[in-house]
Structure 1
Amino acid sequence: MSNSQGLERRIRAAEQRVAATYGLTTTEHVVMLGDPTVRVLTVGEGEPLVHINGISAPAMGMAPLVAGLPGFRHILIDLPGHSLAPPCTWQGRTVRELAIGVVTGTLDALDIERAAFVGSSLGGLFTLWTMLDAPERVSRAALVATPATALPGSRVIAEFAALTSPIRGRFDQSLMRLPSPRFIARIALTEAIGANAARAMSDDMLDLHRLPLRLPGQAASYRALLRRLIQDRTARPENVLTDAELARIDTPTLFVWGEDDVFCSPEQARSSVAKIPGAHLAVVPGGHAPWFDDAHRCVTLVRAFLAGDRHA
């Protein structure tokens, strides 16, 4: 058995254990979208609810939210180059065009005309772009944590900035493919999601975040996407939504924001959220992945919003 096959088996085994921990039964789909390929896990039955996680994070990372939202057909998307989805160069079109193609192409492949969305970080950005460029596909959206680069004033953490540099980035990309103990991964995650959330992750959940980057092409995919999103410790201007775009969003939208989100504080976000007609911002304990800090609070807000309470 090759190293890659062994890693894939470890990832699948960890994924199955995480699913079992949260009482989830998953079905796997591979969606071919031309050059990029998406891996989808479906859970349950009912109206479709699409989950898109953050950059380099696995679809199953949303399991604590999924477990608290019964009655839906959950669509958990592993974006191209994420988890066990094949690598992707994120080239050829703008990243916004690629994102819209991934989201709408996945919906088409699953025969879903319109769905509610739960997006986090990069998934929040992809969801906002879809709300703007294919609004007929999104019925309502709960965005948990800062939507990556979408709002003016969002900051770039040192890890991301280093990965996009020409020399240091290639070195760090090489390091990602090397075996390392779990405690190193927890330290690495702490800058992005906070110490409490990193400590709260089970070993299996941690493995779902760290092991895929050792698969061939995945670390390069991660770096390639980051380079399309940011430059010189700032978001590329084309990836930041303008005031006019924010004002054009008319999809019911809930922002669930960790009070300690390192990428953008709730107070910084309020003026941008206020430009979206009818949008509501709810502040919760935690950082950039607040469902690991306080799953109950996040689930309660998202559940009420999906049930029709615009001001959950």
Structure 2
Amino acid sequence: MERLVDVAPGVRLWAEDLPATGSDPAPEPVLLVMGANASGLTWPDELVARLAERHRVIRYDHRDTGRSTWAFDERPYAIAELARDAVAVLDAFDVPRAHVVGMSLGGVLVQLMLLDAPGRVATATVFCTAALGGYGSPDLPPPSAELLALWEHMADPRDVDAELDWRVAHWRLLSGTGTPFDADGFRALERRVIAHAGRHDNTAAHARAAQDGLDRGDELAAVEVPVLVVEAPEDPINPPPHSGHLARALGRGRLVRIPGMGHAITGTVVAPLAAAILTQTTGAHAPQR
């Protein structure tokens, strides 16, 4: 079921509620929170299908992505407001509490949910992300220079074909070299994303959004919700020191590693990523030490 969710005056988010396909008569919901400037359709269908075997799955488009409202220049917002949007999506579907999964910026938003709305989060799984305030540490590296150079052209005007070429080049860098890169597959994904949005430009709104209120890393130790941090060793944005730092900072954090994974959900990591998420959401992992 698809619907539009009002989250602020003049701001609506596209959201999709996918029923569970398994035999559980009362499947628990999972909320998927995607990364910066990325539509909810970026979640691979195969991963969504695997999660739906055990859960009701909800995904959505952030502001200024997909079919949600694009109006950053008229109504700018802070990154922290996107975390409140995630809670509003749960409200819209009458979900009091969900397992929440966040990738990249989505992982930052999940951390804000853990601090500001912990009662709404049954468990959390985050990957390809950094701890709140983490970039202030000299021990935690910034994104790769090659990626930073590409980001300088994120919002450049391009026709559709040139935009697709840029996005595939972006995914190639994000994926790293630990798994085979399927350029045709990512091009097909981005064609779907563009068709879904009805536009091909990238306003880079999330890169321009204010970062007030994100320096809250010291508060993570008090989090009581179980959190799984998935380490992606080939991640060029948040390489392995970040995942370990986040897991140690959390009150109930644990760390698992998916060999070869970069800052992308490539075909070869769908199965181990789904297994890790389901192990967390079903409580099938070993007890906390």
Please indicate, yes or no, whether the TM-score normalized by the shorter chain is above 0.5.
Answer: yes
Q: Which structure has greater helix proportion? A: 1
Corresponding residue SS for 1:259: coil
Give the distance between the partners of 1:32 and 1:198, measured in 2 at CA.
38
- SS for the counterpart of 1:60 is helix
Aligned length: 270
Unmatched tracts of structure 1, length 5 or more = 1-26, 230-235
Post-superposition offset of 1:296: 1.3
- Residue equivalent to 1:60: 41
Normalising by the residue count of structure 1, what TM-score does the alignment of the two structures yield? 0.75
Seen in structure 2, the aligned counterparts of structure 1 residues 88 and 157 have a Cα distance that, compared at 3 Å, is farther
Output the amino acid matched with 1:56.
N
| Shift, 1:109, TM fit | 1.3
Q: Match for 1:146 among 111, 129, 134?
A: 129
**1:144-195 superposed Cα distances (whole Å, 9 cap, x missing partner):** 222486633352455875688xxx66xx524245432745432122222335
1:264 to partner: Cα distance: 2.0
Task: Tell me which amino acid in the other structure corresponds to 1:306.
Answer: T
Measured at CA, do residues 51 and 197 of structure 1 come closer, stay the same or move farther in structure 2, by a change above 3 Å? farther
2:24 aligns with none
Q: Cα gap change, 1:49/1:133 in structure 2, threshold over 3 Å: closer, same or farther?
A: same
Question: What CA distance in whole angstroms lies between the structure 2 residues aligned with 1:280 and 1:138?
Answer: 16
Give the deviation of 1:137 after TM superposition.
0.9
Aligned to 1:72: 55
SS in 1 for 2:157: helix
Equivalent position amino acid for 1:259 in 2: P
Alignment of 1:25-64 (within 5 A): 27-34=1-8, 35-45=10-20, 46-62=27-43, 63-64=45-46
SS of corresponding position for 1:302: helix
Supply the distance in 2 between the matched residues of 1:191 and 1:225 (Cα, whole angstroms): 20
Aligned equivalent of 1:8:
none
The answer to whether structure 1 residue 207 and structure 2 residue 191 are counterparts is: yes
Question: TM-score under structure 2 normalisation?
Answer: 0.80
Query: How much does 1:101 deviate?
Result: 2.4
Q: What's 2:105 paired with? A: 122
Determine whether 1:267 maps to 2:241.
yes
Take 2:171 and 2:77, find their aligned partners in 1: how far apart are those partners?
30
- State how far apart, in whole Å, the 2-side matches of 1:161 and 1:227 are: 15
Please show how residues 50-199 of structure 1 align to structure 2 within 5 Å: 50-62=31-43, 63-69=45-51, 70-89=53-72, 91=75, 93-96=77-80, 98-147=81-130, 151-152=134-135, 153=140, 155-157=142-144, 161=148, 172-176=154-158, 178-180=160-162, 182-194=164-176, 196=179, 198-199=181-182
In the alignment, the residues of structure 2 paired with residue 211 and residue 176 of structure 1 have an alpha-carbon distance, to the nearest angstrom, of 16
Unmatched runs of 5 consecutive residues or more in structure 2: 21-26
Structure 2 equivalent of residue 308 of structure 1: 283
After superposition, the Cα gap between the structure-2 partners of 1:131 and 1:28, relative to the gap in structure 1 and judged at 3 Å, is same
1:163 and 1:173 in contact (8 A); partners too? no
SS at structure 2 position matched to 1:71: coil
After TM superposition, list the pairs within 5 Å mapping 1:224-243 onto structure 2.
224-228=205-209, 238-242=213-217
What SS does structure 2 have at the residue aligned with 1:294?
A: helix
CA offsets per residue over residues 199-245 of structure 1, 9 Å max, x none? Answer: 263543132356678827x522xx2220226xxxxxx5743442x21
Q: Aligned partners of 1:42, 1:156: CA distance in 2, in Å?
A: 33
Whole-Å separation in 2 of the counterparts to 1:304 and 1:206:
30
Identity %: 21
Q: CA RMSD in A?
A: 3.0
Q: Which residue of 1 aligns with 2:219?
A: 245
Deviations 1:4-42 (A, max 9, x none): xxxxxxxxxxxxxxxxxxxxxxx2111122232211112
Q: 1:111 to 1:251 in 2, by over 3 A?
A: same
Query: For each residue in 1:251-303, what CA deviation from the matched residue of structure 2 results, as whole angstroms up to 9, or x when unmatched?
Result: 11001121111122223431331121221111102101245442111111111
Secondary structure, in 3 states, of the residue corresponding to 1:305?
Answer: helix
